[in-house]
Amino acid sequence: MDIRRAGVLLGVAGLVLTAGCSAGGSASGPSGPSAEGSARASATAATALPAGPYVALGDSYTAGLRIAPQVGTPAGCSRSGANYPSLVAKALGLSGAAFTDVSCSGATTRDLAAAQRTVDGTNEPQLDALSPATRLVTLGIGGNDAGFMDVLGRCAEEGLKQSLLAGLTGTQTAGSPCRSHFTGADGQDQVQQKVDAAGERLGELLQQVRSRSPQARVFVVGYPELLPSDPASCTTTLGRGAAAGDVAFLAEKEQQLNTMLRQRAGAAGAGYVDTYTPSAGHDMCAGEGTRWIEPPFPAAGLAPVHPNAAGQQGMAAAVLHALRS
């Protein structure tokens, strides 16, 4: 996902709504599961795992935005050598020509079929990495099509405005101003409409993947839990000025996005990797040593509202679990 606008807005909102926030700390956190350990523990099922070639497609949640070490070209994709595709490939013993990662931060479904311009170089069409020889494909995409980071940014704006108003009037922050913003005069949910449109494009994309690599096992990878089901647990991270209704709204929208991804994967005969369930309790509002997702004020050098190294490890473990299922 593209973080520029949302990251700035979330950061500004956090400065106003919170006190004593710290951006220091470890870049990974010690509690993330080991993808390689998961693979070793299932050695008896190794014969069922694909031997490659493996091609990874996707956006920043796949690329591993800002997670060290940054590898590959173009540099603008911010692709990590410790992202979940790299961890999965290592666990499967795939390297060299047997593993190709063309994921790129900011990618949409359209960028998979056409060249994507980044702030530092152009990423060639991701689908071009596929061939009839490909035996495994993972695809993490859809959040940018649904404008999810823009939704996060808008919610930060709406919460900030309501918090400032509440401070001036002496009232408490309540309701869900962001939900109200994205509900049209006709009562239509604008975010859900974007998710539905993204689903149509994803369905077409999966057909192209199947056409290019008919023998491959294809997996659509969902998004991990960004926010907890209990808004109260986010008070420390997001501040008391953040409307509880907006935290619940954002969590609801992400679940709708993942539901779409699961349904489209099933309709196309592809597998679905659930990263949401295993990430429960590791959202951005969890402690620094527990979270898989960085909060608006991330640990030094990491991207706000994106997985850290522990999150990538957790996603890799989920992919390996799906491969063994």
The set of catalytic residues is 60, 306
Neighbour-count burial of 132, counting CB atoms closer than 10 A to its CB (0-12 exposed, 13-18 middle, 19+ buried): exposed
- Nearest to residue 99, comparing CAs of 135, 67, 70, 73? 135
Exposure on the CB side of residue 6, measured as CA atoms within 13 A: 20
| DSSP output for 167-191 | HHHTPPP-S-HHHHHTB-TT--BHH
**Cβ count within 10 A of residue 202:** 24
Between CA 287 and CA 227 the distance in angstroms is: 13
Query: Over the Cα atoms of the chain, what is R_g?
Result: 19
Neighbour-count burial of 115, counting CB atoms closer than 10 A to its CB (0-12 exposed, 13-18 middle, 19+ buried): exposed
Q: Return left, alpha or beta for 55; rule: phi > 0 is left, psi -120 to 50 is alpha, else beta.
A: beta
Check: CB of residue 230 under 8 Å from CB of residue 152: no
End-to-end Cα spacing for the chain: 28
Beta strands in 59-210 (DSSP E): 70-71, 79-80, 99-101, 116-118, 121-123, 136-140
Length of the chain: 325
User: C-alpha distances in angstroms, 169 versus 14, 156, 164, 172, 243?
Assistant: 20, 20, 9, 9, 16
Check: CB of residue 256 under 8 Å from CB of residue 192: yes
